[in-house]
Structure 1
Amino acid sequence: MQTAQRIIKTYRRNRFIVCTICALTTLILTLCVRFMSERNFNHHRTVSFANHAVNALDDVLRPLQSGRDVMLPLIGLPCSVTHLALRKQAAKLQTVRSIGLVEGGVLYCSSIFGYRNVPVSQLHANLPAPEPLLLLSIDRSLIKGSPILIQWYPSSSNGKNGVLVIVNIDLLVDMLLEPEQPQITSASLSVGNHHLLYGRGVVDTLPPLNGEQRYQLSSQYFPFTISATGPGAGELALKHLPSQLPLAMMLSLLVGYLTWLATANRMSFSWEINLALAAREFELFCQPLVNARTQQCIGVEILLRWNNPRQGWISPDVFIPIAEEHHLIAPLTRYVIEETVRQRHFFPMSSQFHIGINVAASHFRHGALLKDLNRYWFKAHPIQKLVLELTERDALLDVDYRMVRELHRKGVKLAIDDFGTGNSSLSWLEKLRPDVLKIDKSFTAAIGTDAVNSTVTDIIIALGQRLNIELVAEGVETQAQAQHLRQHGVHILQGFLYAKPMPLRDFPQWLAGSSPPPAQHNGHMMPAIPFR
């Protein structure tokens, strides 16, 4: 059978394992949540950066598109006539460096220089063109070497005539493409096959990625793309994950502590007892009591056994003290009473046959025991005699003596178990007025071997005879013990010499094979006793 230390140690270990698992799970979940949150935040920063750059450049180019209708009718007019209008339009658009009119593929009028005679192909190899173009290039006339955006609007089907708008993109680079560390290490503007890199000017190809990721977002209205390069959102989040460890540790310790508190009842042996009661895992055993002279069975003591499917057989010496400590002894006793009534058909149908049930002193409080007896025992009207056994080691001061009198009135016998092993005063014998004293097995075992305890046994026997209290000797294992007790006036014996505890269903077979039913004595059945 399991020992108390082993069972409690097992539950504490399981409880610690559960708390550790909860704490570790919280730690991992917290770090995972923080990782995903950081990763999403990093990705959001990159997307927001690209969206802002695209929207800002769209806002720059949209006015050019709307001003196209104003500038196209000026093509073919002399520069002296159109120059002022071009200057006003350039000043109005602010970000525009210059506006030029092209006729026959020749730039003949500029908002800055006025009259000119420059082939437009010198400004960019793709010009002139029959369709509108957005080109990224380098200024070769005003601020040479600086990056510019060229917006070309043709006015003829052959593309030789049109309006040329040059945007001073260099002024916008610091605002649009400045990296936001650590999410973005570099940014670029791509138009066609040319790319404007922050701090590096216009290049033909984007630099290769060195363990980084590139996020690209194109405009819905104009043919350009903004690229943002930096560490991956997940990689950056993972890099910063150690900084989240203190918070995760605090949360995991808090959850572990709360789990420890929450499992105080659910992962304790008292909770196991409650589960066993609900699942009816407890089984009733009985141990016969025999008449010392006739060797006839005159009663039984009901014993509770527990074959726990999770722990195996658990000794009553383990679960009874724990049940008392956690105020579960009354539910256990209630279970024993209910099951005894339900299985009483295994015992002889005789009013002289005694059925003994152990009760705790605390069960006497507020009439709880009497209520349970009324609900189960008296309601069933059993023929057998009921004996309630109260161990002397219990707090006898808790016993309500008014209840004792009521039980006596109802015909219930009261026995004091393990008499002589506690510290009760003899005055309690007068207050309780027990019907039976059960001599503890330690005194029985001392017969013939321990002079002191053997003398105490004789004193207890003499006390019981003097007070006219029936005596039962527990733990009788040898014929010598039985003979000594019989010679000294103890007429009811219980122990392995006669029978070991057995399931209730096995009692009829034992009774049929060991002795006949209790014999008549002077026309009456021999008195009986039970229990524990």
Structure 2
Amino acid sequence: MTTEGRHDKRWWLRWLLVAAAAALPLGVAVPFVYLQASLLARHDARGAAEVVMRQADAIFAEADRLAAEMAPQAGKSCAEADATLREAAFQPYFRAIVLVRHRVLYCSSITESFTLPLAQLLPDGEVPPGRSFHFVPGTPMVPDRPAVMAIRLDQAGDGVIVTVDGRYLRDLLDAVGGTGRYRIGIEALDGRHGLAGRRVGVPPPGAYFVQDVVSTIYPFRVRSLADAALLAEYRKRLAGSYAPFVVLLALLLGYLCHHFLKYRFSLVAAIRRGMRRGEFEVHYQPVIDLRDGSCAGAEALMRWFRPGQGAVRPDLFFAVAESSGLAIPLTRHLFKLVGRDLRRCPMGPLFRVGLNVTASHLVEPGIVDDVARLRKVVGSGAADFVLEITEREPLPPIEQVYEHMGVLSASGVKLAIDDFGTGHSSLAYLERFPVDYLKIDRGFVSAIGTDAINASVLEMIIGLASRLGVELTAEGVETREQLDYLAAQGVHYAQGFLYARPMPIEALRAWVDAFHGAP
């Protein structure tokens, strides 16, 4: 791909990510608005049901009171009870008061004496002794208008029926649900009979947003369903309320994403420029053989010094390099700089220089040529090399490692696992992996002399290395206590600030010449 093509691809990718970041608030806001609108609609539907429930409870309580008051009239003749019945029937809500003898209706507040079996009056036909309430589609005198009957019967079948005119309940339902916001109705707990507002029937059980409020006194419930129009109204209202914040957040996220990507892409470009312009240097940290106190080698560490900005943190530019596909080019640049340094300041054939490589580089066919090119540049006797791959990323397939390390090992190149103990290698993997050194992560070394769990892990790592027959290098040694412990445990090599900080090749040459084995 041409440079222009890569630029266009990065440009489109950057704006695609910016657009995705800007769209994120909308993607969150839409389901949030739908959810909140649903909750509000359900809350309102329940509130409407509770309003109806309170009023219906009051009406039924009045009917129940009147039935109890009229119960002593049962068994009397119509002539004896007529005046009392007619007076009671003038109270609000009630259509009629009827007396019952032996389960037969015989006297009413609105008619002369008559007879009608109770079983013919009610849809279910059965009325138990005691107090009960029944929804009916009509009564003998008003057959086309529903009603609710409050009935009191004794064991002999004598009692009274107070009929609540359904019009009052219907008006109540219409007042609450007639705005077009709710579908609402009252029904018996068995669900077979009930009343509803004129707009719709009683909402079906299981419908979305159905809210049931059951009376704690009487055997009925109010069922309310938020209408789709109410839901749409809430969605529109909430969307309008949140829109300014969503837009501002989208702009902010888009700006931040653009700023981050601009910095990131500019950092990628800066790394490329830095390699071309010679902004990278290699500093070397000595590695000490704890068995004889000699300097056995050094780890080559890349440093980046940007003009006008100073040093860039290695963890920052390495992370960008790894995520942008620059890790291998940067490693090859490291090889180039190390070759230049060692050609200028050879360290000797027994001096081993550690070179950090990624797992993906180790299994790439070009690794053999890269190392061969480095060795050719430095010439024979200048130094030898250890390839260090970090355990913080997944280790490569063993078969591919064997293929390349077979060639590299024949020329004296060794292999180390860096940051050991931090992650991805299993014992079974290590037993087959052609590794020469394990480098103990500085986090475990810093735990020496403490009760931290890392101190126990360090002991296990030392035991594992002994079992595998590989040599150990401890990183980040900073105190004499750490050094003494590591030496006593049989750790072979150490590096850290206790001995020296990373330094340029000329300083390393002078340091090695002056080093006498003690930190």
Instruction: Give the TM-score, by structure 1 length.
Output: 0.46
Give the TM-score taking structure 2 as reference length.
0.47
The structure having more radius of gyration, on CA atoms, is 1
